[in-house]
Structure 1
Amino acid sequence: MKKYLSLTTIFVFLLTTFSIYYIQSAVAKNDKTQFIIEYVDGDKDLLKDIRVSGFYFLGNMGDSVTITDKETSYKSNLPFFEQMDYENLASSSKQYQKLKKKYPSFMRGKNNERYLFEDDNQVLYAEVDYVNSVNGKIKDFHFSINTLSKTDEQTNSYTIDVPKQKDIVYMEIYDVQYLYDEVRIVTANHKTNSSLTEVHQYTINLNKNQITDDKIIFTQNETSADYYSTMSLSEQNAIEPSNIVMFQTEEGHENDDGETTELKRKMYIYHYKEAKLSELALPAELQAQMDTDIAYLYNENYLYANKLIYDKETVKGAVYKIDLKTGKIANTANFTPSSDLQIIGITLNEDTIQLVGRDAEELPVFALYTLEDGKLLFEGKIDTKNQDSVNFNELSLDMISGI
């Protein structure tokens, strides 16, 4: 009797949950603002391909949005199970989208490009999983690895425990590669001592289902700085094979008002084949930069870094292309945003420089420039047919893609 009562209770709970979800979704669909992209400057033909992702706050709640020239789609309007597997189309690369389209079953739930690897033979996805204990601590760190063979589309899954994890409180994957028939995973292991971070390279033999080597490639020890962090850098064509992974450290000192008075950055390059870590000395143009919101993008040969230059009421931008072998600037892409554009953020993404901000009327605006020469590709603003019903300050833009 208890068995049937439990089953009935579960059934009623699920029925209620799904009913509430679909009722709320039906109501929400009729009450969602439809934003539009308005052309401002650049190549107008690009408008049909552009997707803008962002977040729209609705009172105490909010929703992820994707805006095109035809419609605004909301995450909450997706079917229930698609919401669970939501991946923002506007924030992913073209290569990632091709994988999603070609291998939809394998790619389901695999939303972090940094965890992906693809070559001519296979697609591989690796992530760190863990268990939350009763007292709230994270324990039992392990790698979950999924592979797909391109020959026959056969898939395999592996679970491998992380060694020597006693003092680890958090693990962050920086890169995944496949080299000499073994998986290489580079992680930042944050320890119980908040000032201690180790960057590891784990070598995994999938045939043996075990870690064959655990190499510490960088250690950050005690520091007198007010704050310290070890951070990964965005990689151009991150899914493709590469011989390097880059990361940076940042130390800052603050005054009594919480303002940064001194900022030190260091860039590091780890070479997989040579098993060698080297430091990249930034050029003088970037060493004095106090702004903490700098965008970086790298590939096997170059590091791209942006800098804003304020000249009275004019703001100009520059993206430096730094040769990883020499540390010298190989090229500078200069760009000048519109005079009424108040810049909120800059992102270097694939082949473009992306700016998001506000115009003189406080409307959300964005601009795209070519990464190599700073040529304006497109500038647009987000509007709606009924401005009176929208508080545009509640809409934040994140990423632009599609071109």
Structure 2
Amino acid sequence: MKKYWKVTATIIITVLSFGIFYMNVAMSAEHFPELVIQTKTGDKEEIRDIVLEGSYTDISSNNYLSSRFKLTADGSEYNNRSFLSEIIGQPDTRIKELQEEYRSFMRGKIPSETFFTENSEFLAYARADYKIDSLRSSDFTFEVSVLNKSNNSTNSFTIQVPVSEELDHIYVEEVQMIEEELHIITQNSMRNGHDYTNENHIYTVDLKEQKISEHETILQVASGHDDIQVDSHLIRRSASGAAEQLLLVKSEYEIIEDVESHRLEQLNKELISYNLVTKEKEEINLPDTLNLEENEIRFFDGSSVYFVNKEGHVTPYNLAEEQTGEAFDLQLSFEPDQQPPMITVKDEKLYAVNVSNTAQNNPGIVVADVQTGDTLYDGEIVLKGDSSESAGDYELYIYEIVVR
């Protein structure tokens, strides 16, 4: 029996570790504050379909551990902090809904909304995979799966990424399905000897033939010089439905070295449009009132771009008509150097919420009519009842707003 004492001791320690972990979780869960959306003006029905996802950090205890929560008109719910969820995390609201509705199709897929697209006929998934050896990444492939909702059939296959011998890294930024063609939009790091470039690519997949029918580089960004940083990114838009048009922002910064750190000073920004159907690319010439130095693009609904500055001034810009819409101000309070609010647009309504807040400044939430600019709802996120009395210093960070 002596030779088994190490195994027995290991099992006992493991069991005790799990027990202590769950006891700590249970004890800490009792101290999670209850968050509510408190109405200031307007009809609370306007926020009935909103889900806010964020994190709560108790900074008074000096441990700075964050707890994820979901907040609706009915109150807050903290994620089940099981041992497994602590390791793999919890899926976002939209992914959780897909997992409940299409349980079989969603099984085994990475729970990131980026890899999915859905319309009335199909639910499609695509992600990039590769092998890592001692020297570099290799054998780049796309894993593709499409569910036909009408007959519940699934078309799944793996295809090789073209020109993968020049790839150093690939990341899927968005998946689109238009006219039964699947488009995979990626951010690629390309290698040519000792030189690297970052590129935005589009791969069009023929689902019947299970092959890539078209492949195009839509934007190429050189690595820049030692004191210059250049990058590009897709503009955030609604995950539901399809948009023929993609928007990308190309930014150029100068790296300024200070005594103990460095900072970035913006030199130039370009807004670039790409049409998935016509394959046309063009730079968008914005009016002077919408310069990208003072305004951030916070949302794209497929036809209009929504610019927001740090004071909460919103200006819609219709791409097809090349015209600015009725500008309006969000009834939100802002601290110095605070990020512009997170917004989303659905059914001609704009939903906005402060991103980062402290105990001294409750996060605001606003619903506005995008046509008139009228505020339909104005509220704030507060700690309910006893929670506010017992809470010390804390921070709230909102990282997603979903309208169901």
Question: 1:288/1:85 Cα in 2 relative to 1: closer, same or farther (>3 Å)?
Answer: closer
Is 2:282 the partner of 1:287?
Answer: no
User: TM-score, normalised on structure 2?
Assistant: 0.79
Query: Superposition pairs for residues 340-379 of structure 1, below 5 Å?
Result: 343-351=338-346, 352-356=350-354, 362-370=360-368, 372=370, 373-376=372-375, 377-379=377-379
Q: How far has the Cα of 1:386 moved from its partner?
A: 3.6
Tell me if structure 2 keeps the 8 A contact 1:195–1:220. Answer: no
Deviates more, 1:216-225 or 1:143-152: 216-225
Tell me if structure 1 keeps the 8 A contact 2:332–2:365. Answer: no
Is 2:80 the partner of 1:67?
Answer: no
* Equivalent position of 1:396 in the other structure: 397
Question: 1:60/1:266 Cα in 2 relative to 1: closer, same or farther (>3 Å)?
Answer: same
Tell me if structure 1 keeps the 8 A contact 2:37–2:381. Answer: yes
Cα deviation, 1:128-181, whole Å, max 9, x if unaligned, reads 22334456x543322111211112212232222212223433323233233465
Tell me if structure 1 keeps the 8 A contact 2:186–2:201. Answer: yes
How many angstroms apart in 2 are the aligned matches of 1:202 and 1:360? 43
Tell me if structure 2 keeps the 8 A contact 1:348–1:371. Answer: no
Q: Which amino acid aligns with 1:280?
A: I
* Equivalent position of 2:202 in the other structure: 201
User: TM-score, normalised on structure 1?
Assistant: 0.79
Tell me if structure 2 keeps the 8 A contact 1:187–1:201. Answer: yes
Tell me if structure 2 keeps the 8 A contact 1:116–1:176. Answer: yes
Which secondary structure state, in structure 1, belongs to the residue aligned with residue 383 of structure 2? strand
Tell me if structure 2 keeps the 8 A contact 1:204–1:211. Answer: yes
Q: How far has the Cα of 1:106 moved from its partner?
A: 2.4
Q: How far has the Cα of 1:55 moved from its partner?
A: 1.0
Is 2:336 the partner of 1:335?
Answer: no
* Equivalent position of 1:149 in the other structure: 148
Deviates more, 1:216-225 or 1:357-366: 357-366
* Equivalent position of 1:159 in the other structure: 158
Query: Superposition pairs for residues 1-400 of structure 1, below 5 Å?
Result: 22-46=22-46, 50-58=50-58, 59-77=63-81, 80=84, 84=88, 86-89=90-93, 92=94, 99-107=98-106, 109=109, 111-134=111-134, 137-179=136-178, 181-192=180-191, 196-221=197-222, 223-224=224-225, 226-236=228-238, 238-257=239-258, 258=262, 260-287=264-291, 289-290=293-294, 294-308=296-310, 315=311, 317-329=312-324, 331-338=325-332, 343-351=338-346, 352-356=350-354, 362-370=360-368, 372=370, 373-376=372-375, 377-384=377-384, 385-387=386-388, 389-400=390-401
Which secondary structure state, in structure 1, belongs to the residue aligned with residue 163 of structure 2? coil
Unmatched segments (≥5 aa) in structure 1: 1-6, 309-314
Question: 1:21/1:321 Cα in 2 relative to 1: closer, same or farther (>3 Å)?
Answer: same
Question: 1:339/1:207 Cα in 2 relative to 1: closer, same or farther (>3 Å)?
Answer: closer
Question: 1:26/1:129 Cα in 2 relative to 1: closer, same or farther (>3 Å)?
Answer: same
How many angstroms apart in 2 are the aligned matches of 1:20 and 1:130? 38
Question: 1:361/1:241 Cα in 2 relative to 1: closer, same or farther (>3 Å)?
Answer: closer
Q: How far has the Cα of 1:368 moved from its partner?
A: 1.6
Q: Which amino acid aligns with 1:154?
A: S
Q: How far has the Cα of 1:101 moved from its partner?
A: 4.5
Q: How far has the Cα of 1:260 moved from its partner?
A: 4.8
- Cα RMSD after superposing both structures: 3.8
Tell me if structure 1 keeps the 8 A contact 2:332–2:366. Answer: no
Deviates more, 1:261-270 or 1:393-402: 393-402
How many angstroms apart in 2 are the aligned matches of 1:360 and 1:61? 15
Cα deviation, 1:344-366, whole Å, max 9, x if unaligned, reads 43122133241316789614312
How many angstroms apart in 2 are the aligned matches of 1:349 and 1:46? 14
Q: Which amino acid aligns with 1:246?
A: L
Which secondary structure state, in structure 1, belongs to the residue aligned with residue 354 of structure 2? strand
Tell me if structure 2 keeps the 8 A contact 1:183–1:205. Answer: yes
> What is the aligned residue count?
383
Q: Which amino acid aligns with 2:297?
A: A
How many angstroms apart in 2 are the aligned matches of 1:194 and 1:56? 42
Which secondary structure state, in structure 1, belongs to the residue aligned with residue 394 of structure 2? helix
Cα deviation, 1:209-254, whole Å, max 9, x if unaligned, reads 3323322222223545622111011123x33233222211111225
How many angstroms apart in 1 are the aligned matches of 2:152 and 2:18? 34
Tell me if structure 2 keeps the 8 A contact 1:365–1:381. Answer: yes
Q: How far has the Cα of 1:283 moved from its partner?
A: 1.7
Q: Which amino acid aligns with 1:368?
A: V
* Equivalent position of 1:312 in the other structure: none
Cα deviation, 1:363-384, whole Å, max 9, x if unaligned, reads 4312223261333223213224
Q: Which amino acid aligns with 1:354?
A: A
